[in-house]
Chains A and B, each alone.
Chain A
């Protein structure tokens, strides 16, 4: 047996090696997707009987105010996260690469720390922060003499969606930061040195060197951010349960609620598929936009 054959993997071998992981992927991702598409065409209520009702669930879905309202909330969360979280992460990255920053390790650890916390814990902590009678936020406002701003934060339907976004931004700030930093470390030092010689500093360095050179990484991070933000659930479920009324309801919770609180598993599946289509649409749309910008 010579070296070349032992290194070359035959077609059969390739399939054999890929097989198990593909099989697992198929059974936990692809099959459930098709199953839930099938359920979405029925009026299944959790019992032994499923009647095929065609696309009726989707007709209802198109006219379902709660569904679109939840989608709007998802979009608000998404836009806020993209702008505030990624903006902050980029700003911090440029700070971290600058020479003036002290205690870099400590800052990095502190910022990354919340990422490893359970979403439920974070939800509870922030619920306590916002609490009307015992919350830190109201206590701080009182201390600063801003008593007029004190309110039951999570009870105000107009602002609740922004308030539940804050913990999401805070908790996952560390992820884009880490990715940006590793990307920045891949930029050759001599580029920065050359530009410093040309008298380029601070903001200009970030704008004309760091940003274009890590643009591809930013794109990837934005994709990740979009896909994870379309699925947010735990924080909001813990903090408000979607309330007051439905004002902080997001798609994932709406799907969960229709499927398991109301037991409309058929319609709940339609919501899930609708959610899948919308997320997929946003990702594709975003990819188009990002490419145009690149060329």
Chain B
């Protein structure tokens, strides 16, 4: 019996330990959810003891981005090059990079991390997500960090912080000024259809599309499986042509404008009529934006619409395609209130900083951010022909690709209008994005979709 009792005690001890481990896990989870507000105060306690330690031990800065390791986009290669340089100069700071190429997967992971206040030290984020993270106090306001180095702060184009600020604070450091809606077209196919330059009016565009289709070529390659392409790269610009920017400002400020306003409905109708006309490839909802470029690169499509970030990939396309490619923006529409020499664009995304690591590693994070956005970075981006958010005047223009020169010429005349998904609430964007898929296959009328978006807009008000 005694032996039995000893066993029992052993068991109950083991059980107690097991339970406490489990309980510990549960406790941790709760903490990370609930201590978000007090967290911003916490690190300061640690900060005092940190600097001395960081002198010997390397500081690890995590950096999450959406540029796959093998990406040929200029931004990705430049960031990687600057990072390598930075690592060589600062052996004390180790930047741990995590890349997720798929944009949806990237934002899903980001939001999941945000829900448990585990955001990386530095990460890329769109303005709309940043505003939400800021509301939830999971990202650090960067006002102090920027003001601490006036040269750095004042180097940025003044408008470049617009997309990345909310509630009077700046939460992101811009790294580029991009247009999300640029038309890349093959001038050969347009010439075959009898157009020596890109159509200047909507009616002309429709005629061109019909003729290109007769020639057996898909007029517009669209890969909208991930749902953001139709909205971010087409509707943001098309909508503005019809409604004008004031309408969007009013939507964003919640001061009266509605998605059911005739102008916005008209833009949806124009978009749907393109689809009805057969302007897009039939499998637009089951391929993604990389595959839409593949269609274009294989000479099966006459144009595709994506942001200015695609310039790099177009230059890496087969030569006869790359040489024939020109850039344009959507033509003016009849009765539209928007400026025809405009397209959706802005800083769009920026580097943001998770609140968790900010207190302890503020200095290291600041250094990395400067290396990835400051003059050196901007210069090397500019030399590749990428539009940058940082003012650089004196750089070597010889290596800029011809397409980038064309784009620079175009964009110098352009006015940037808001990118829908940089401003609107994610729940609303997700309704709009899914609805556009339906719209393009005639699954819903423009009026019904507008009503649905408006209903969601009122719900999230």
Contact = CB atoms under 8 A, between A and B. Distances in A.
A264 B137 CA distance: 16
Contacts of B286: 127, 130-132, 152-155, 239-240, 243-244
A152 B37 CA distance: 50
Given A47-B135, A157-B443, A260-B108, A240 B225 contact: yes
B457 to A, nearest CB: 13
B283 A244 contact: no
Contacts of B196: none
Contacts of B8: 10, 12-13, 16
A46 B132 contact: yes
A27 B26 contact: yes
A20 interface: yes
A140 interface: no
A172 B42 CA distance: 51
Contacts of A31: 26
B427 A46 contact: no
A60 B227 CA distance: 25
Interface in B283-309: 283-286
B225 A243 contact: yes
Interface in B1-45: 1, 3-4, 7-8, 11-12, 14-15, 18-19, 22, 25-26, 33-34, 36-37
B111 interface: yes
A167 interface: no
Interface in A5-48: 5, 10, 12-13, 16-17, 19-20, 23-24, 27, 31, 45-48
Contact of B11 (A1, A13, A152): A13
B323 interface: no
B441 A261 contact: no
A10 B12 CA distance: 14
Contacts of A12: 8
A27 B25 contact: yes
B134 to A, nearest CB: 10
B26 to A, nearest CB: 6
Given A16-B12, A157-B438, A131 B22 contact: no
A273 to B, nearest CB: 18
B138 interface: yes
A260 B435 CA distance: 18
Given A245-B438, A261-B430, A155 B284 contact: yes
Contacts of B138: 47
A46 B129 CA distance: 12
A169 B161 CA distance: 51
Contacts of B37: 48
Given A20-B18, A46-B136, A155 B441 contact: yes
Interface in A129-153: 130-133, 151-153
A118 interface: no
B167 to A, nearest CB: 13
A129 B350 CA distance: 38
Contact of A20 (B15, B26, B33): B15
Interface of B: 1, 3-4, 7-8, 11-12, 14-15, 18-19, 22, 25-26, 33-34, 36-37, 104, 107-108, 111-112, 114-115, 132, 135-138, 225-227, 281-286, 426-427, 430, 434-435, 437-438, 440-441, 443-444
25 contacts: A13-B11, A16-B15, A17-B11, A45-B132, A45-B136, A46-B115, A47-B36, A48-B137, A130-B286, A132-B283, A155-B283, A155-B286, A157-B438, A244-B438, A244-B441, A244-B443, A245-B434, A245-B435, A245-B441, A245-B443, A257-B430, A260-B115, A261-B107, A263-B111, A265-B115
Given A47-B137, A154-B283, A260-B111, 6 more contacts: A152-B283, A155-B286, A242-B434, A244-B285, A261-B104, A263-B427
Interface of A: 1, 5, 10, 12-13, 16-17, 19-20, 23-24, 27, 31, 45-48, 127, 130-133, 151-157, 239-247, 257-258, 260-265
